[in-house]
């Protein structure tokens, strides 16, 4: 299979898989080896992405360089915005 066709197939698979559903995973192919990189939301999503690609014909091996996004704490960081408060000016 042509490299570009396979790339398209992989991106499509990653976007449509119930457990992946991501459009922003970086996909590279070198000699039939697929490398996935970028960030995902969870460990399950990371494994599911490699699994979904592995099943495709034309993929010999997958290098899973995806990392799980680290979230900062606290969740609710406050930032001030000066509002115009229409009608009160």
Partner 1 sequence: MIRVAAVGDLHFRESYRGGVRSAFRTVSREADLLLIAGDLTGIGRPEEAAVLRRELSIVSIPTVVVLGNHDYHSDCEEDIKSILRDGGIIVLDGDFHKLDIRGTSIGLAGTKGFCGGFGIRQITPFGEIGIKEFLGHVEEETEKLDRALAGLNTDIKLVILHYSPVIDTLAGESPELYPFLGCSMLSIPVDRHGTDLVVHGHAHHGVELGQTDGGVPVRNVAMQVLRRYYIVYDLVGTGG
The site for partner 1 (CB under 8 A) is made up of: 15-22, 24, 39, 41-42, 44-45, 69-89
Closer by beta carbon to partner 1, 58 or else 64: 64
Closer of 30 and 82 to partner 1 (Cβ): 82
Q: Are strands 33-40 and 26-30 parallel, antiparallel or unpaired?
A: antiparallel
The answer to whether the beta carbons of residues 8 and 34 sit under 8 Å apart is no
Q: How far is the CB of 32 from partner 1 (least distance, A)?
A: 26
- Output 31 or 89, the one with its CB closest to partner 1: 89
CA angle, residues 18, 40, 1, in degrees to nearest 5: 65
Q: Minimal distance in Å, beta carbon 3 to partner 1? A: 19
Q: Please name the helix (run of DSSP H) or strand (run of DSSP E) that holds residue 4, with its range, or none.
A: helix 3-16
């Amino acid at each position: 299979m042509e490299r570009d066709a396979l790339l398209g197939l992989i991106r499509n698979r990653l976007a449509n898989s119930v457990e992946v559903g991501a459009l922003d995973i970086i996909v590279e192919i070198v000699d039939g080896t697929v490398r996935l990189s970028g960030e995902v939301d969870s460990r399950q999503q990371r494994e599911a992405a490699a699994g979904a690609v592995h099943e495709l014909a034309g993929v010999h091996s997958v290098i899973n360089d995806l990392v799980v996004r680290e979230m900062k704490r606290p969740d609710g960081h406050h930032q001030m915005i000066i509002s115009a408060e229409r009608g009160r000016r």
